[in-house]
Structures are given as C-alpha cells and as structure tokens.
Amino acid sequence: MRILIVLAHPWQGSFNRAIAGRAEEALQALGHRVSFRDLYAERFDPAMPAEELIGAPPDPVLASHFEGVREADGIVIVHPNWWGQPPAILKGWIDRVLRQGVAYEFPADCDAAGIPVGLLKARAAVIFNTSNTPLEREQAVFGDPLELLWRNCVFQFCGVDTVIRRMFSTIAGSTAQERAAWLAEVEAIVSAAFPKSA
Ligand SMILES: Cc1cc2nc3c(=O)[nH]c(=O)nc-3n(C[C@H](O)[C@H](O)[C@H](O)COP(=O)(O)O)c2cc1C
C-alpha cells in the first residue's frame, strides 16, 4: 500500500515528530511505500494565492501534494492540538491540497450547494494528536473540535469512511515510560489500520 504521512510540528525534537517517525518505521516494516511530508521542514506555504483560488494550475510543490493524496491508499496525520485546531500550516494544507477536483467533486447534476462526492481512494485515515488537556475536560469543556474536523468535515467529506483518531494527553509532565507506551500504541494502531498486503 502507499501511505501518506503528514506531520505538522515545527520542532524536530517534539513528541509529534517521534509519533510520525514511529508510524513511518512501522509502516515501512510492513512493506508499505511511505511518503513522508513534514510541512514545517519543507516550509509549506499555507496561504492560498488568489490565482490558485480562481483556478490557476498548481505549482510543482502543490502538484506533488495533489499526487500524494490522490495516490494514497492510507493517510496518517500527526499534529498537536493548538487552540482546538491544527497548526495553521496544516490548515493551509487542507485548504490548498484537499481541494475540489482533487479530494471531492460535485456531481454534474448538482450545484455547488449540493452534496459532494469524495474522490480520495484512501481506505482509512489515522489522526494522531497530542495535547495538554485531559480527555474528559477536552470533551466536556471544549467539545473536542478536532474530532468533528477530521472525521466529518475533512475525511468523510472526501470519501474516507474509516477514520481512526487518537489524542495523546497530557504531554506536559508525561514520563519516559508513558511516552514509550504511547509510541508502541502508535505502532499498533497503524499496523492494524494498514496491515501487510497479501
Ligand atoms: C500555540 C499553541 C496552542 C496550544 N493550544 C492548546 C490547546 O488548545 N489545548 C491543549 O490541550 N494544548 C494546547 N497546546 C499545548 C500543545 O498541544 C502541546 O504542547 C503539545 O501537544 C505537546 O506535544 P509536542 O511535545 O509534540 O509539542 C498549545 C500549544 C501551543 C504552542
């Protein structure tokens, strides 16, 4: 399988980087072809140019992101919870890469207010998040907005019905043993979502 990993964290020493790295290693060990896009490392530009919005063809970097999501049999997203949202660089990636004609389309017999059809062929998406809020408080006080964003607004909209999300918390104050156990969980989750091809 071809698996796309998208990481949005500015620091190479972060736990998010460790999550993405463990996912990459596990998926490669299963024989998958992994494409790893580290958005900060490649300085992905999250700001959509006006000409792109009105239909200009993508530049080569954006075209390579289009190809990555189109070809992916599975997608893994890794990012911290920043104000209940992904870091802005990843929001820009959603805006610019998961665009009409790439990730979804409106059928010929409906207008742009109709129900779109998803175009992504990925059989599953896995989202790993980190935060410093205990899960019960995240759900009770903030409503866990990342759950709605990734499951409903993004992946189901784009035709990916199997969405697996794991929020690791709290990172602040976590022990080396806890982080090791979380990384083992990362490996188990991606291995179950994307088993070795027959
Ligand atoms: C700009 C910013 C906004 C943040 N917003 C939240 C938040 O809304 N909820 C939360 O639990 N943690 C928040 N945090 C804490 C991060 O989620 C936390 O530092 C991160 O998940 C730790 O993982 P890391 O070691 O890979 O950076 C925020 C951190 C930053 C820098």
Q: Tens of pLDDT along 175-195? A: 999 999 999 999 999 999 999
Buried b (16+ CB within 10 A) or exposed e, 129-166: bbbebeeeebeeeeebebbebbbeebbebbbbeebbbe
Residue 86 near ligand 1, beta carbon < 6 Å: no
Expressed in angstroms and rounded, the spacing between residue 32 Cα and the centre of ligand 1 is: 31
* Architecture in CATH of 2-193: 3-Layer(aba) Sandwich (3.40)
pTM (whole model) above 0.95: yes
What is the pLDDT at residue 198?
Answer: 66
Query: Where exactly are the structural domains of the chain?
Result: 2-193
Residue 133 near ligand 1, beta carbon < 6 Å: yes
Residues in a beta bridge with 34? 3
Give 27's contacts (C-beta < 8 A, 6+ positions apart).
3, 5, 34, 76, 190, 191, 194
Expressed in angstroms and rounded, the spacing between residue 80 Cα and the centre of ligand 1 is: 6
